[in-house]
Chain A
Amino acid sequence: MITAGVDAGNKFTKVVIIRDGEVISRDQLPSGFDRRQSAFKAFKRALSTAGLNEDDVQKVMATGAGRSEVDFAGGTVTEVGAAARGSIHVIPESRTVIDVGAEEGRALKMDETGKVLNFTISDKCAAGAGSFIEMMSQALEITPEEMGSLSLQAVQTVPMNAQCAVFAESEVISLIHSRVPKADIARSVFNAMAGRISSLVRRVGLNKELAMIGGMAKNPGFVRELEKDLDTKIFLTENPDFVSALGAALIAAEKIS
């Protein structure tokens, strides 16, 4: 059985195609202004990588902020539902999941089947989302990836007063002017953001089996600050930004059988 999941995020649209629970293809494209078209293009590309036609896919499920625009999907699933289903598949021992994307942060608690028990979302403010890191990396004139590795060389954290991304950008610039090393600034930024994500986790209730998915899970600087803040190890997976798309594909398969 072949199914697909499309995660139409605010920044990127991710597609995963699975055959009997195994990933056979994945692709992603920037979501752009026309999310429907980006989703369709990414889907086509993933199909061609797998050597498949549209007709070979028995069901497509869409998730993500732009899921309703994915008109070739046979159904939709919430971001939280898809994140939980995908996470339990790739990290079976996880019971709490942190999902930080471009414009939102989420924390959820689930049972051993991936059924969501409790969740909380922060999507009203850039300070708790990936955009925050992107803006600060621009102020530092490096990429978010460089910022992640640079932060690991930091010797100290300086206090950040600003909570708002707009104000934090000015604060970062004034720290640069006062000659604080970029590595220290980078760590301080991750530390400030980790504090906000931790509070989401504490609200759903922290247990030891904590996993993190979403684009920010690829950033070792952020993961380290979050682990320190929560005082626990975080389980990671290889393609964290595709976990929700995978979840949607798994749910599609369950709908058929």
Chain B
Amino acid sequence: MIANYGYKDGSGEFFISIDTAKCAQCEAKPCVEACPEKILVIFTDDYDDEVIGVKEEHRKKIKYSCGPCKPITEKRNLSCQKACPSGAIVHSW
């Protein structure tokens, strides 16, 4: 499953896409620890796979939560993507 977490409003589209099929295969899930803002969480989905998702409290403000790793104008340095061994995390902005 490609799970898209985030939102769209007048200022743009801010979604983090997680490929849970890849994610379920990964035992270590290093992305969760790698995120400096701790926005990712491990949970068991509706099909009983252990996957990661974006924490509920960050979903409506990920533009701000992810701000430290990617300010709008400056270089991008995405700790979650660097940590993920299977390229399962994609950001829309």
Interface residues of A (CB under 8 A from B): 122-125, 161, 163, 199, 202-203
Give every chain A residue within 8 A of B9 (Cβ-Cβ).
Answer: 124-125
Give every chain A residue within 8 A of B61 (Cβ-Cβ).
Answer: 163
Contacts A124-B10, A161-B60, A199-B67 given; 13 further ones with Cβ under 8 A? A122-B11, A123-B10, A124-B9, A124-B11, A125-B9, A125-B10, A125-B11, A163-B60, A163-B61, A199-B64, A202-B67, A203-B71, A203-B72
Give every chain B residue within 8 A of A124 (Cβ-Cβ).
Answer: 9-11
Classify the interface of chain B: helix, strand, loop or mixed. loop
Q: Could you tell me how many residues of chain B have their Cβ less than 8 Å away from some Cβ of chain A?
A: 9
Q: Contact flags (1/0) for B5-18 with A, using CB distance below 8 Å?
A: 00001110000000
Q: Which residue of B lies closest to A124 (CB)?
A: B10
Smallest beta-carbon distance A104→chain B, Å? 11
Q: Contact flags (1/0) for B49-87 with A, using CB distance below 8 Å?
A: 000000000001100100100011000000000000000
CA distance in complex: A21, B68 (Å):
43
CB-CB nearest 5 A-B residue pairs: A124-B10, A125-B10, A163-B60, A199-B64, A125-B9
Q: Which residue of B lies closest to A163 (CB)?
A: B60
CA distance in complex: A99, B31 (Å):
39
CA distance in complex: A211, B60 (Å):
29
CA distance in complex: A203, B71 (Å):
8
Give every chain B residue within 8 A of A163 (Cβ-Cβ).
Answer: 60-61
CA distance in complex: A199, B65 (Å):
11
Smallest beta-carbon distance A123→chain B, Å? 8
Give every chain A residue within 8 A of B67 (Cβ-Cβ).
Answer: 199, 202
Give every chain B residue within 8 A of A122 (Cβ-Cβ).
Answer: 11
| CB<8 Å pairs between A and B, sample of 16 | A122-B11, A123-B10, A124-B9, A124-B10, A124-B11, A125-B9, A125-B10, A125-B11, A161-B60, A163-B60, A163-B61, A199-B64, A199-B67, A202-B67, A203-B71, A203-B72
Give every chain B residue within 8 A of A203 (Cβ-Cβ).
Answer: 71-72
Give every chain B residue within 8 A of A161 (Cβ-Cβ).
Answer: 60
CA distance in complex: A123, B9 (Å):
11
Give every chain A residue within 8 A of B72 (Cβ-Cβ).
Answer: 203
CA distance in complex: A163, B61 (Å):
9
Smallest beta-carbon distance B77→chain A, Å? 18
